[in-house]
């Protein structure tokens, strides 16, 4: 589910989660982490994207492209045209964000979504018993797709900027009920439960971290504990200064910290260092590159020779307690970047605060795509003042006083940031010179419209070239479809790669694309994911814990269900919903079962973590859509939840995924076309890049400047050559 889509490779709340706190502590004296992913995207294109840059330049230097004059080149952004100039395939966040940008620039477009809802891989399941206005029923929902985002990460602030910009439009159009508010997402807690390897009883995170009380790591992975890890790795070590640790829990710290520090010190040098290992998976790096001698101060001769690699059992422990079976097959670079993302979730206004802060949409993430749809179907959407005000409120740019602060007005009480460590709490910033008038409605988002075919015709639009599009409109009531023929000078396709197999016997979606593009789409690695939502008659997890009325974070186990995500809301109700979440091999195996069998396995996993919770008697019963919901490889997800690159794909596939086809007339977007895999902002970045490419292709330099003013500077790796070429 596109986050990614926020479906991310979250480390489970295990012993190795201390790595993130160690990283935070070691980096606490550095400047706040900046737009690392944007810099990384530009780095890859600059160093490995020669082919991409050459194709881009060739497309933009075409005589016919420069002679093509239309509204794209017009300087008046408020003069909307009646004829759509851009067709967009897919109503997920990439498609809708591309549309919102075009709308703000006065460029007409149409969005075709094959399902009956917008949001793509962002979707909230609401029990049929859900009632937002009922205390006892308002918590009966869960996030099938992305469920959170880092609150303070500079890379991910554009998602909050989007919400604030939408709110401004909705408010002036009398649609306050559609406005988006953020509440706190509790990622972890001291009392979240852990149970591995048939431990007699579950333990809490606090108990696990109390090394003084545990001479041996209590997760039972040691050889003398019915496990396979040599005891030297899981036996407590006490240093001369009194510091205590288990050697196995220091490995990721030793591996990740040098890369993160290098990136913090100098993006270029840090990425150069990191990309030397792009050919390694996380597993192969652990077992075929990293040596015992690399542990430095944590090395013990009882582990083996300094030239030996980590034992298989140790690598397995790290995979099991951090992610899940099979997850370490992905690129080593992906894992380093994931660790960096979590470090970027700290509060930059409180540099000594090591905590990770997360947000989720109040009453369900589905409200965010629904707000996008509401604005897209207005004649006029986000205006310059809306975008700039949002950037000021989030500290993306400085306010009138020249200072940056984080003070968005759409945070619930629990999500309010703590006061800065120095100075007074900032007042909500504002930047509003003009209040636009309310807008008329204008439909641009078409649901139940599935794109069946995209064909390039170089003779269209007086030699500029364009795309012929076949769309199947399904009448829900009758279940029948009719084919519509559309034409556009530009198309942005945002479908997950698996969705380019449309199952239609008469039409292929992509026709005559280049070998390199076809190869990239075919080989781009997607990660399977599984989620299940189970309603319980009582919230036993709250009454058995010590943090009642607060979020409990996530419980973890080595059973196939892997994680229990506790709700961050609804603790004042009797009923509640627990969410089970896993990836990779665990997801594949659960996904192979029938729907009810999946729920049964999840129940057993929950009971394993809560032997004192009378889980089966508390279960509200299997009733699909009412008490339960499972998701695995939804047909609209195209065979995977989110992109996670395999070894070598950053160098070889990423530039090809970005490259437009057919002289720039067909552009690709979606979180796989970004370096933010599995996060919503990845979809936004890719859409920004696609629109930017269309503007540059048409020589619309004024529109590019306006784009940057309203929406800021996201990850568009070809900025420098674009602006140079556009001026020629």
- Burial class (CB within 10 angstroms; exposed 0-12, middle 13-18, buried 19+) of 698: buried
List C-alpha distances in Å: 286 to 248, 256, 639, 681, 690.
12, 12, 29, 30, 37
Q: What are phi and psi of 462, to 5 degrees?
A: 55, 40
Q: What are phi and psi of 222, to 5 degrees?
A: -70, 155
Task: List the strands of the sheet with 666-668, edge to edge.
Answer: 445-446, 109-112, 86-89, 490-493, 666-668
- What CA–CA distance (Å, rounded) separates 20 from 600? 34
Using only the alpha carbons of the chain, give its radius of gyration.
Answer: 25
46-116+449-525+646-726: in CATH 3.40.50.300? no
Across the range 611-640, mean pLDDT stands at: 86
Listed residue (267, 213, 252, 372) closest to 37, CA to CA: 267
User: In the chain, which residues fall in CATH 3.90.660.10?
Assistant: 529-632
The model's pTM: 0.92
% of the chain beyond a pLDDT of 90: 68
pLDDT value at residue 547: 64
pLDDT value at residue 200: 93
- What CA–CA distance (Å, rounded) separates 592 from 408? 44
pLDDT value at residue 139: 94
Per DSSP, what are the bridge partners of residue 229?
Answer: 222
The answer to whether residue 29 scores a pLDDT higher than 60 is: no
Q: How many CB atoms lie within 10 A of CB 515?
A: 8
Residue 276 neighbours by CB under 8 Å, 6+ apart = none
**Residues 453, 458, 461, 467, Cα dihedral to 10°:** 10
pLDDT value at residue 421: 73
Q: For residue 719, what pLDDT band results from cuts at 50, 70 and 90?
A: very low
Task: Give kind and range of the element (H or E) at residue 470.
Answer: strand 466-475
Q: For residue 706, what pLDDT band results from cuts at 50, 70 and 90?
A: very high
* CB-CB contact of 593 with 227 (8 Å): no
User: In the chain, which residues fall in CATH 3.50.50.60?
Assistant: 46-116+449-525+646-726
| pLDDT digit string, tens, across residues 271-283 | 999 999 999 999 9
The residue among 685 and 9 whose pLDDT is bigger is 685
* CB-CB contact of 613 with 543 (8 Å): no
| pLDDT digit string, tens, across residues 71-114 | 454 434 344 456 899 999 999 999 999 999 999 999 999 999 99
Across the range 194-210, mean pLDDT stands at: 92
Q: For residue 31, what pLDDT band results from cuts at 50, 70 and 90?
A: very low
pLDDT value at residue 10: 36
pLDDT value at residue 345: 80
The answer to whether residue 26 scores a pLDDT higher than 50 is: no
pLDDT value at residue 535: 97
Highest mean pLDDT (candidates 10-24, 339-353, 476-490):
476-490
Q: What are phi and psi of 376, to 5 degrees?
A: -60, -30
List C-alpha distances in Å: 242 to 237, 238, 245.
9, 6, 10
Q: Coil, strand, or helix at residue 144?
A: coil
pLDDT value at residue 728: 41
- The CATH code of the domain at 529-632 is 3.90.660.10
| pLDDT digit string, tens, across residues 387-429 | 999 999 999 998 888 888 999 999 999 999 988 776 544 555 5
């Amino acid at each position: 589910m596109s986050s990614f889509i926020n479906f991310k490779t979250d480390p489970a709340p295990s012993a190795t989660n201390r790595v993130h706190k160690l990283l935070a502590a070691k980096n606490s004296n550095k400047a706040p982490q900046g737009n690392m992913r944007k810099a990384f995207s530009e780095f890859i294109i600059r160093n490995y994207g020669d082919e991409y840059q050459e194709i881009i330049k060739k497309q933009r230097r075409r005589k016919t492209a420069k002679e093509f004059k239309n509204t794209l080149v017009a300087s008046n952004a408020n003069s909307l045209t009646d004829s759509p100039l851009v067709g967009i395939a897919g109503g997920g966040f990439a498609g809708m964000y591309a549309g919102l940008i075009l709308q703000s620039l006065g460029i007409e477009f149409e969005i075709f979504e094959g399902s009956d809802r917008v949001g793509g891989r962002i979707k909230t399941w609401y029990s049929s018993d859900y009632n937002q206005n009922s205390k006892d029923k308002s918590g009966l929902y869960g996030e099938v797709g992305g469920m959170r985002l880092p609150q303070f990460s500079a890379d991910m602030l554009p998602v909050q900027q989007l919400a604030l910009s939408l709110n401004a439009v909705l408010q002036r159009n009398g649609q306050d009920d559609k406005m988006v508010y953020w509440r706190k997402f509790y990622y972890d807690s001291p009392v979240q439960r852990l149970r591995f390897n048939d431990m007699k009883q579950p333990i809490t995170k606090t108990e696990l971290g109390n090394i003084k009380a545990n001479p041996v790591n209590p997760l039972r992975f040691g050889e003398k504990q019915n496990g396979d890890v040599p005891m030297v790795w899981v036996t407590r070590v006490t240093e001369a200064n009194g510091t205590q640790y288990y050697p196995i829990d220091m490995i990721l710290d030793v591996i990740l910290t040098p890369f993160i520090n290098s990136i913090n010190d100098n993006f270029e040098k840090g990425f150069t260092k990191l990309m030397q290992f792009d050919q390694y998976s996380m597993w192969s790096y652990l077992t075929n590159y990293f040596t015992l001698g690399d542990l430095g101060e944590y090395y013990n001769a009882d582990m083996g020779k300094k030239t030996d690699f980590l034992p298989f059992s140790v690598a397995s422990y790290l995979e099991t307690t951090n992610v899940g079976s099979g997850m370490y097959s992905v690129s080593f670079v992906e894992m380093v970047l994931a660790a960096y993302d979590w470090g970027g979730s700290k509060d930059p206004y409180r540099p000594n605060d090591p905590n990770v802060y997360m947000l989720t949409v109040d009453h369900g993430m589905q409200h965010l795509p629904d707000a996008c749809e509401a604005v897209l179907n207005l004649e006029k959407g986000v205006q310059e003042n809306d975008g700039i005000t949002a950037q000021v409120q989030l500290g993306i740019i400085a306010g009138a006083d020249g200072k940056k602060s984080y003070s968005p007005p759409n945070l619930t009480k629990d999500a309010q940031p703590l006061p800065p460590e120095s100075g007074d709490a900032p007042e909500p910033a504002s930047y509003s010179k003009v209040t636009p008038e309310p807008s008329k409605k204008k439909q641009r988002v078409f649901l139940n419209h599935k794109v069946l075919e995209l064909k390039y015709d170089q003779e269209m639009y007086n030699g500029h070239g364009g795309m012929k599009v076949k769309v199947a409109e399904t009448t829900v009531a009758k279940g029948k479809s009719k084919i519509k023929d559309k034409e556009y000078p530009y198309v942005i396709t945002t479908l997950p790669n698996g969705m380019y197999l449309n199952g239609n016997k008469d039409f292929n979606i992509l026709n005559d694309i280049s070998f390199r593009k076809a190869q990239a789409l075919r080989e781009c690695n997607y990660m399977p994911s599984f989620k299940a939502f189970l309603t319980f008659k009582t919230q036993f997890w709250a009454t058995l814990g010590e943090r009642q009325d607060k979020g409990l974070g996530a419980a973890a186990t080595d059973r196939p269900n892997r994680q229990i995500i506790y709700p961050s809301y609804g603790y004042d109700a009797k009923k509640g919903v627990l969410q089970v979440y896993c990836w990779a091999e665990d997801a594949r195996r659960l996904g192979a079962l029938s729907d009810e069998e999946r729920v049964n396995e999840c129940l057993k996993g929950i009971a394993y973590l809560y032997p004192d919770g009378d889980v089966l008697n508390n279960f509200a019963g299997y009733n699909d859509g009412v008490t339960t919901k499972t998701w695995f490889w939804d047909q609209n997800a195209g065979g995977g939840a989110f992109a996670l690159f395999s070894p070598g794909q950053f160098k070889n596939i990423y530039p090809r995924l970005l490259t437009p086809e057919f002289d720039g007339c067909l552009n690709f977007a979606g979180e796989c076309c970004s370096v933010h895999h599995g996060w919503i902002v990845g979809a936004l970045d890719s859409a920004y890049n696609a629109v930017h490419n269309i503007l540059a292709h048409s020589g619309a330099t004024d529109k590019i400047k306006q784009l940057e003013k309203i929406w800021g500077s996201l990850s568009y790796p070809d900025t420098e050559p674009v602006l140079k070429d556009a001026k020629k």
